[in-house]
Each structure stands twice: as C-alpha cells, then as structure tokens.
Amino acid sequence: MRKILNNLLTFFNNTEEDTFYYVRIERNDKCFCNSGKKYKVCHYPDHQKKGKVAVKKISETSAEEQIKVLSVKRLRKEYYRVKSNVH
C-alpha cells in the first residue's frame, strides 16, 4: 500500500510540479535578443524601467532553454516555487 502511495506521489510530483528552474540573465551577459550587445546596454534599461527581468527558463529533464521576460514580482513567486521543488 505504501509503495502505491509513493508511486502516486511521484507521479503527481512529475506532472503537477514541472521540473524547471530559472537563471537570471546577468547584466554583463550577452543579451538574449542576439544583438551581440551586453544585456546591460541592450534590453536591460528598458526592463528595469518596467520592473521586468530577462531569465532563462531551463527544463531539468530536457535541459531545454526558453527566454522569458518576467516581472520581478512574478519571478520571485516562481523562484520560490521552483526552489522548494529543487531542494
């Protein structure tokens, strides 16, 4: 019975909580838009004005990367959710 319950929990963990994490694009990193410029001189000033931040959303299972522009508030929320999932 316990085994079934564990399997069930694993199943729910895999589906309900997507295993991905966010990595912030640092100011000195190349900008995500492929301009060849650094983030800090490209999209960063605009994002800062709008309270947004560019991040890489990385899947732990496929290592697939997606660029996301999230509000700082949203990222905080996601970050905590993902963090608690990872550790």
List the 52-59 sheet strands across, edge first.
20-24, 52-59, 65-71
Q: Which of 4/36 has CB closer to Zn ion?
A: 36
Q: Does 31 bind Zn ion (CB under 5 A)?
A: yes
Among 25, 43, 47, 54, binds Zn ion (CB under 5 A): 43
Distance separating alpha carbons of residues 87 and 83, to the nearest angstrom: 6
Among 8, 9, 23, 33, binds Zn ion (CB under 5 A): 33
Distance separating alpha carbons of residues 1 and 10, to the nearest angstrom: 14
Name the residues that contact Zn ion, by CB under 5 A.
31, 33, 35, 42-43
